[in-house]
Amino acid sequence: MKATSLYHVAPFLKTINGDRRKQFENYFATAPLWLLESLTIEEMKKGTIFTREGEPADTIYFIATGAIKATDYRIYGISYDFMMILKKVYAYGGMEVIMDLDTYRTTLQTVTKCTVLKVPRVKFQRWLMSDIEALKNESKLVAEYLLEEARNSRAFLFLQGADRLAFLFINRYDKYADHGVLRMKGNRKELSDSTGLCLKTINRAIKKFCECGMVTIDGRDLLIDQAQYLKLKDVVTPILAEDY
């Protein structure tokens, strides 16, 4: 598949970040024309839930622009946000295809306005089953994601309070920092949901980080530059005994 065919179906991809645009080219490098012609584009508003755990996994989603989160409601009905969008291009719903699952295993919601590419599951599955390179690539992406989630989950077991929040900030810096600076909304409730810490602990930890020069408050946002990122790593690395 030539990139021109992909851009004919989704011309807006020419305008997105260069690295991400290249990832889309690589992901669909072997895609047949019938697969590309089945792609549709949707602009989703912030707060849109586009997959629900337990509902039929009949559509595959690719996030071209914007950010999403995954939420788990299984434990006592408490919401737990455990994933934000990663820098790589992922087929959300692809894991269900690889694992031969009929329903989505995760609830996914946009946290910003998103431009999304969609493809029917039957078409996506037909492509994977007929293209060994596409199947290999998708299996690798799923395995990488599951490995990262497992490592992060184990790390959280050993971290408490401010250390757990520091670990979250380190991971977000690795994924979302732009020109050496991570800017994120200082929403304490979201940070509480993402770490499992109470709001009181979150507030105390942020105050501690600011006093120690590890985080900067800019209006309603939290900023972390490279020097602050390294200070946060110095807090977490000795505890985990691994180079994060």
* Per-residue model confidence as pLDDT tens digits over 127-140: 999 999 999 999 99
Rounded to the nearest angstrom, the gap between the alpha carbon of residue 77 and the centroid of all alpha carbons in its chain is: 22
With beta carbons less than 8 A apart as the criterion, state whether 172 and 184 touch.
yes
CB 56 within 8 A of CB 103: yes
> Measuring CA to CA, which residue among 196, 172, 193 is closest to residue 182?
172
Distance CA 94, CA 63 (A): 13
C-alpha 188/C-alpha 198 separation (Å) is 9
Of 11, 19, 70, 15, residue with least CA distance to 39:
11
* Span 51-60, average pLDDT: 96
Residue 90, H or E segment: none
Q: Where in the chain is the domain with CATH 1.10.10.10?
A: 160-240
**Mean pLDDT across 2-26:** 87
Lowest mean pLDDT among 19-28, 41-50, 71-80, 191-200: 71-80
- Is 80 exceeded by the pLDDT of residue 108? yes
End-to-end CA distance of the chain: 38
pLDDT for residue 76: 40
In sequence order, the 6+-apart residues with CB closer than 8 A to the CB of 73 are 53, 79, 80, 107
Place of tokens 């895609």: 31
Per-residue confidence at 243, pLDDT binned at 50, 70, 90? very low
* Choice between 155 and 21, residue whose per-residue pLDDT is larger: 21
Q: State the CATH architecture for 160-240.
A: Orthogonal Bundle (1.10)
Where are the CATH 2.60.120.10 domain residues in the chain?
A: 3-155
Confidence at 2, pLDDT banded by 50, 70, 90: low
Which has the higher per-residue pLDDT, 175 or 21? 21
CB-count exposure of residue 65 (10 Å: 0-12, 13-18, 19+) = middle
Q: What is the pLDDT of residues 225-237, one digit of tens each?
A: 999 999 999 988 8
CATH number of 3-155: 2.60.120.10
pLDDT of residue 77: 45
Q: What is the pTM of this model?
A: 0.72
Mean pLDDT, rounded, for 83-105: 85
pLDDT in tens, 189-213: 888 878 888 999 999 999 999 999 9
Helix, strand, coil content of the chain in percent (nearest 5):
50, 20, 30
